[in-house]
Amino acid sequence: MKFVAFIAVVMTGALLIYGTIDMPDWADPHAPAALHVSPMYIEKAAEETATPNMVTAVLADYRGYDTLGETTVIFTAAIVCIMLLRRPRK
Amino acid sequence: MIERFEDVIIQTLCRFLVPFMQLFALYVIAHGHHSPGGGFQGGCILGASFILLCIAYDIKEAKRRMTEKLNVTFCCLGVIIFGGIGVVCLILGANYLDYGILHKLLPVNIPEARSLGILGIEIGVGFAVMAAMVSIFLNLASGGEHEEALE
């Protein structure tokens, strides 16, 4: 059974590595993300959101849904910590 | 086991340091539009000020200033502020978390409404991160008993 699991893990890993071959090179200026999304953020973030700090504009406005997920992760960590560890002394 | 002892120098220094840390944390949260910073960083500094109280004094003293109930309330409130602003945008007829539509509620134009929406969610993130830091530290350091840390 362990052998089957090992084969499954290796095959999944190989599949994932095969999937990364198609990805654009690291810091490739002609990657799809660098052609459309990044110039749009750089050119329009300041005037569209009235926020000089581009990082904040992308983090909280354009990618706000992602930040909501991060906040939920932190919230879950705190709640789980209380649920697992909290034990009032009798 | 580490012996607990009262040190006047450390306690006095921390008592003076904590308000300035909290003020700086609020500055980092509110000034995220113009400088590096934002909810996550500011919340961490705010949480660190309470953790400093726990270390310099003891957990009881820190919990006297920030009770457990208040802490959990802040944690939930942060996420509710964040999600609530998104729902308000949804009710006003825009996409979820599309703050531009908030100009219908506030006397500002669309870019400034988006800027204010960013500020609102930064405040929510700050609350949630601060409360999470404090509760994780308290529970891990005291083994969940909240009596004495580093025992």
Write down the ipTM of this complex.
0.86
B84 found inside a domain: yes
B97, A68 contact by CB (below 8 A): yes
In a domain, B1, yes or no: no
A→B contacts (Cβ < 8 Å), by residue, are 47-53, 55-57, 59-61, 64-65, 67-68, 70-72, 74-75, 77-79, 81-82, 84-89
Count of domains forming chain B: 1
Put simply, whether the predicted model's pTM sits higher than 0.80 gets the answer yes
Q: Average pLDDT of chain B? A: 88
Q: How confident is the model over A38-84, as pLDDT tens digits? A: 888 888 888 888 888 888 988 888 888 999 999 999 999 999 999 99
Q: Name chain A contacts of B76, Cβ cutoff 8 Å.
A: 75
Sign of CA dihedral A9, A12, A16, A21: positive
Q: Compute the distance between CA of residue A57 and CA of residue A51 in angstroms, rounded to an integer.
A: 6
Number of other CB atoms surrounding residue B121 within 10 Å: 27
Q: How far apart (Å, rounded) are the C-alpha atoms in residues A32 and B80?
A: 35
**Alpha helices, DSSP H only, in chain B?**
8-30, 39-56, 59-65, 68-91, 110-141
Indicate whether B150 belongs to any domain: no
Q: Could you list the residue range(s) of the whole structural domain that residue B131 is in?
A: 8-141
Tens digits of residue pLDDT in B119-143:
999 999 999 999 999 999 988 888 8
Q: Is B116 part of a structural domain of the chain?
A: yes
